[in-house]
């Protein structure tokens, strides 16, 4: 089991027993949308409280099955951010659409983890009740539609549907941000060095006669590409390769 998932499981189980022993104290950590500004800590602490043993069991089993693979995929620190951000957006969405309903439970964070699982493995089969195989992405779509229908249709049934939707929303935004961050880092890491970009602009000065025949064919290919598509069409590798054959700039004349 991965470290953050293990820590969350232990913390939730410990909090549940503490909640049973000291119910009056636990009430101070319930998230009440109308008291969000007075009790700001509850936007996080509500995720560690549960209504009964089945509520706790459902959330922890979901975290146990979905969490480790997601944590291994995105690493522990981003996973922890994903979980808590999903729970927080779940609480905030409840402030907007269900301001009169106190909420408890790790469902917002768990739903965020479920969405992340479907994000990375959309076609992975999830067995509902252990027998009905449903692709992960279909499960997310169905539960989203159900939460929307139940939440806006006033069919709460003691379930914080907007916390579930907020969990999905927070996870989606965070995963999109991670994708953009990693794409930008990859682009930066694979970009040609600035000096190579500057030097390759002088590609017309390359003396093909002085280039070894092993490299001459590749240089001709790159030069043909420039002729057809322009200098901006070169990949970082092509830019770096071609720039190494551009003669150095003429040295500055000596001062007298």
pLDDT tens per residue across span 56-110:
999 999 999 999 999 999 999 999 999 999 999 999 999 999 888 899 999 999 9
The last residue of one of the domains, among 166, 189, 212, is 189
Q: Do both 149 and 220 map to the same domain?
A: no
The last residue of one of the domains, among 145, 163, 189, is 189
Q: Do both 205 and 85 map to the same domain?
A: no
> Lowest mean pLDDT: which of 1-15, 133-147, 162-176?
133-147
Model-wide pTM > 0.85: no
Number of domains present in the structure of the chain: 2
Mean predicted confidence (pLDDT) in 157-164: 82
Alpha-carbon span 124 to 249, nearest angstrom: 57
**DSSP per-residue string spanning 106-158:** SHHHHHHHHHHHHHH-TT-EEEETTTEEEEHHHHHHHHHHHHHHHHHTT--TT
Mean predicted confidence (pLDDT) in 128-150: 87
Alpha-carbon span 189 to 186, nearest angstrom: 5
The pLDDT of residue 229 is above 60 = yes
Alpha-carbon span 237 to 235, nearest angstrom: 5
- Give me the pLDDT at residue 190, please: 58
Q: Which residues are catalytic?
A: 107, 164
More confident residue, 87 or 126: 87
Q: Do both 39 and 144 map to the same domain?
A: yes
Range of the domain at 237: 194-243
Q: Do both 145 and 216 map to the same domain?
A: no
- Give me the pLDDT at residue 256, please: 41
């Amino acid at each position: 089991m991965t470290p953050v998932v293990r820590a969350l499981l232990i913390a939730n189980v410990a909090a549940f027993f503490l909640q049973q022993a000291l119910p009056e104290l636990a009430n101070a950590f319930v998230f009440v949308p109308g008291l969000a500004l007075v009790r700001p800590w509850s936007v996080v602490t509500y995720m560690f409280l549960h209504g009964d043993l089945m509520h706790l069991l459902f959330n922890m089993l979901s975290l146990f099955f979905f969490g480790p693979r997601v944590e291994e995929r995105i690493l522990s620190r981003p996973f922890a951010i994903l979980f808590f951000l999903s729970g927080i957006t779940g609480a905030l969405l409840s402030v907007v659409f269900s301001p009169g309903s106190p909420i408890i439970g790790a469902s917002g964070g768990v739903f965020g983890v479920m969405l992340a699982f479907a994000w990375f493995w959309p076609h992975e089969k999830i067995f509902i009740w252990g027998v009905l195989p449903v692709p992960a992405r279909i499960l997310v779509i169905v539960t989203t539609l159900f939460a929307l229908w139940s939440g806006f249709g006033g069919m709460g049934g003691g379930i914080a549907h907007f916390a579930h939707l907020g969990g999905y929303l927070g996870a989606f935004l965070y995963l999109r941000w991670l994708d953009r961050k990693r794409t930008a880092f990859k682009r930066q890491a694979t970009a040609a060095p600035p000096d190579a970009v500057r030097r390759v602009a002088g590609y017309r000065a390359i003396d093909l006669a002085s280039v070894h025949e092993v490299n001459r064919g590749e240089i001709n290919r790159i030069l043909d590409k420039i002729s057809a598509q322009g200098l901006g069409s070169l990949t970082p590798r092509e830019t770096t390769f071609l720039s190494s054959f551009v003669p150095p700039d003429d040295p500055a004349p000596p001062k007298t």
